[in-house]
Amino acid sequence: MTLISRDKPCITLINVFTVAPERQAELIQLLEEATTTVIRHQPGYISANLHRGLDGTHVTNYAQWRSQADLEAMRHDPAAQTYMQAASAVAQFAPVLYEVAFTDEVDA
Protein backbone atom coordinates (compact mmCIF):
# COMPACT_ATOMS: atom_id res chain seq x y z
CA MET A 1 0.00 0.00 0.00
CA THR A 2 1.26 3.44 -0.84
CA LEU A 3 1.89 5.65 2.16
CA ILE A 4 3.01 9.21 1.53
CA SER A 5 4.93 10.55 4.51
CA ARG A 6 8.07 12.59 5.14
CA ASP A 7 8.97 10.00 7.78
CA LYS A 8 8.91 7.04 5.37
CA PRO A 9 12.42 6.19 4.16
CA CYS A 10 11.91 5.87 0.43
CA ILE A 11 12.25 7.67 -2.87
CA THR A 12 9.40 8.43 -5.23
CA LEU A 13 9.56 8.02 -8.98
CA ILE A 14 6.99 10.11 -10.82
CA ASN A 15 7.01 9.20 -14.48
CA VAL A 16 4.75 11.15 -16.83
CA PHE A 17 4.04 9.44 -20.15
CA THR A 18 2.69 11.32 -23.15
CA VAL A 19 0.74 9.05 -25.46
CA ALA A 20 -1.68 9.24 -28.37
CA PRO A 21 -5.23 8.92 -27.05
CA GLU A 22 -5.87 5.75 -29.04
CA ARG A 23 -2.87 4.10 -27.34
CA GLN A 24 -3.49 5.17 -23.74
CA ALA A 25 -5.22 1.90 -22.76
CA GLU A 26 -2.45 -0.11 -24.44
CA LEU A 27 0.19 1.76 -22.44
CA ILE A 28 -1.64 1.24 -19.16
CA GLN A 29 -1.96 -2.48 -19.87
CA LEU A 30 1.77 -2.66 -20.71
CA LEU A 31 2.80 -0.82 -17.53
CA GLU A 32 0.47 -2.93 -15.40
CA GLU A 33 1.93 -6.13 -16.88
CA ALA A 34 5.48 -4.88 -16.36
CA THR A 35 4.70 -4.11 -12.73
CA THR A 36 2.93 -7.37 -11.89
CA THR A 37 5.30 -9.72 -13.72
CA VAL A 38 8.73 -8.12 -13.24
CA ILE A 39 9.00 -4.89 -11.28
CA ARG A 40 7.13 -5.82 -8.10
CA HIS A 41 9.56 -8.73 -7.61
CA GLN A 42 12.65 -6.50 -7.63
CA PRO A 43 14.48 -5.81 -4.35
CA GLY A 44 13.50 -2.45 -2.90
CA TYR A 45 10.15 -2.15 -4.68
CA ILE A 46 7.43 -0.70 -2.44
CA SER A 47 4.46 0.33 -4.60
CA ALA A 48 3.25 1.62 -7.95
CA ASN A 49 0.16 3.58 -8.90
CA LEU A 50 -0.91 4.28 -12.48
CA HIS A 51 -3.01 7.34 -13.22
CA ARG A 52 -4.93 7.79 -16.48
CA GLY A 53 -5.05 11.38 -17.71
CA LEU A 54 -8.62 12.48 -18.38
CA ASP A 55 -7.40 14.20 -21.56
CA GLY A 56 -6.42 10.78 -22.96
CA THR A 57 -2.86 11.85 -23.73
CA HIS A 58 -1.15 11.18 -20.39
CA VAL A 59 -0.43 8.32 -18.04
CA THR A 60 1.45 8.94 -14.80
CA ASN A 61 3.18 6.32 -12.69
CA TYR A 62 3.71 7.20 -9.02
CA ALA A 63 6.10 4.55 -7.67
CA GLN A 64 7.97 4.19 -4.40
CA TRP A 65 11.32 2.47 -3.95
CA ARG A 66 13.42 1.82 -0.87
CA SER A 67 16.43 3.56 -2.45
CA GLN A 68 17.75 5.06 -5.65
CA ALA A 69 20.21 2.15 -5.90
CA ASP A 70 17.31 -0.34 -5.88
CA LEU A 71 15.56 1.60 -8.64
CA GLU A 72 18.74 1.70 -10.72
CA ALA A 73 19.25 -2.06 -10.27
CA MET A 74 15.73 -2.66 -11.59
CA ARG A 75 16.42 -0.45 -14.61
CA HIS A 76 19.39 -2.69 -15.50
CA ASP A 77 17.37 -5.91 -15.26
CA PRO A 78 16.96 -7.35 -18.80
CA ALA A 79 13.30 -8.27 -18.22
CA ALA A 80 12.50 -4.73 -17.04
CA GLN A 81 14.40 -3.26 -19.99
CA THR A 82 12.18 -5.23 -22.37
CA TYR A 83 9.12 -3.49 -20.94
CA MET A 84 10.82 -0.08 -20.92
CA GLN A 85 11.66 -0.49 -24.61
CA ALA A 86 8.07 -1.47 -25.36
CA ALA A 87 6.80 1.59 -23.47
CA SER A 88 9.16 3.87 -25.41
CA ALA A 89 7.63 2.55 -28.65
CA VAL A 90 4.17 3.63 -27.44
CA ALA A 91 4.87 6.88 -25.57
CA GLN A 92 7.39 9.52 -24.62
CA PHE A 93 8.17 9.72 -20.92
CA ALA A 94 10.02 11.83 -18.40
CA PRO A 95 10.91 10.08 -15.12
CA VAL A 96 11.95 12.23 -12.15
CA LEU A 97 12.96 11.14 -8.63
CA TYR A 98 11.49 12.90 -5.60
CA GLU A 99 11.39 12.81 -1.84
CA VAL A 100 8.33 13.85 0.15
CA ALA A 101 8.64 17.45 1.35
CA PHE A 102 5.14 18.07 2.75
CA THR A 103 1.79 16.36 3.19
CA ASP A 104 -1.59 17.56 4.42
CA GLU A 105 -5.05 16.07 4.65
CA VAL A 106 -8.46 16.88 6.02
CA ASP A 107 -9.52 14.88 9.06
CA ALA A 108 -12.38 12.53 8.23
Q: Supply the range of the domain harboring residue 21.
A: 13-98
The model's pTM is 0.92
* CB 51 within 8 Å of CB 62: yes
Q: For a pLDDT cut of 70, what percent of the chain falls above it?
A: 99
In a domain, 104, yes or no: no
In a domain, 60, yes or no: yes
DSSP class of 37:
H
In a domain, 108, yes or no: no
Beta bridge partners of residue 62, listed in sequence order: 14, 49
Number of domains in the chain: 1
In a domain, 2, yes or no: no
In a domain, 57, yes or no: yes
Q: What is the mean pLDDT of the chain?
A: 95
pLDDT digits (tens, 9 = 90+) for 55-83: 999 999 999 999 999 999 999 999 999 99
In a domain, 31, yes or no: yes
CATH of the domain at 82: 3.30.70.100
| Overall average pLDDT of the 3-13 stretch | 91
pLDDT band at 1 (very low <50, low <70, confident <90, very high): confident
In a domain, 27, yes or no: yes
In a domain, 5, yes or no: no
Q: What is the separation of C-alpha 12 from the centre of its chain, rounded to a whole number of angstroms?
A: 9
